[in-house]
Amino acid sequence: MGDPLPLRLALPELRYPIGSEPEKTISINQHSIVAYIKTVKEILGNDEFNRIRGTFLGPVIKLGERSLKLSAKIVHAVLTKSIKTVKRHEAWFHFGAQPMRFSIREFHMVTGLKCSGEAREPREGTEKFKWDFLKGRTHTVKDVEKQLRNTREDASDERFCLAMLLLIESILLQKSLLDGGTTFTLDYVKIAQDMDVLMTYP
């Protein structure tokens, strides 16, 4: 018997047919990730900042300190070469007719962020810090930074919670730096005030 005929596999349905991908100049807002890491480190000092390194933000901080940022070209390639899929937590794309995957698993490997299990809700009665920006319904990262700078140095737990809130909002959640930046509700503040929930976030 002769050799079997080579098996030719076709790619699943593509979002854009090969050769017709949109060509558009794009940019990615890096949200000054390194700037806020430096700001927090400057305010806290090495000893207090090392406490933050030991949390889920440690790998993200390491990426920022190494100036590793998103590549707009790579993101554009992934989006324009994406393969249609029904899976919610996976992005499939093709490179040289070879399908490739970027899923929650790969995201966790890169960032170190928790990607499984249910997020814990802050408990009632855990609002132990009286922060000035709590007087309003929303706040910005600048409000949190100001509060952190004005918190006395011997209030280590309070400074830790504020620093974590500042980094979570500035690195993971902020969408824009224009006009003072994104405004946030008090939901994230409640998380920052509950130490047990904060340490298991996100």
Q: What is the per-residue pLDDT across 7-34, written as a single tens digit (0 to 9) for each? A: 555 666 777 667 667 676 655 555 446 6
Domain ranges of the chain: 8-28+70-116, 32-55+118-202
User: If you write DSSP's letter for every residue of 123-188 in order, what string do you get?
Assistant: PTT------GGGGSSEE-HHHHHHHHHHS-TT-HHHHHHHHHHHHIIIIII----GGG---EETHH
- pLDDT digits 0-9 by tens, 72-126: 666 676 777 777 777 777 778 777 777 778 777 877 777 777 666 665 665 665 5
* Nearest of 89, 88, 80 to residue 108 by alpha carbon: 89
Computed on alpha carbons and rounded to an integer, the radius of gyration of the chain in Å comes to 22
pLDDT tens figures, 138-159:
888 899 999 999 999 999 999 9
Asked if 198 and 192 count as a contact pair (C-beta separation under 8 A), the reply is yes
User: Residue 17 contacts by C-beta under 8 Å, 6 or more apart in sequence?
Assistant: none
What pTM was estimated for this model as a whole?
0.69
Residue whose C-alpha is closest to residue 36's, from 119, 156, 187, 148 = 148
DSSP 3-state percent helix, strand, coil across the chain (nearest 5)? 45, 10, 45
What is the DSSP pairing of strand 138-139 with strand 184-185? antiparallel
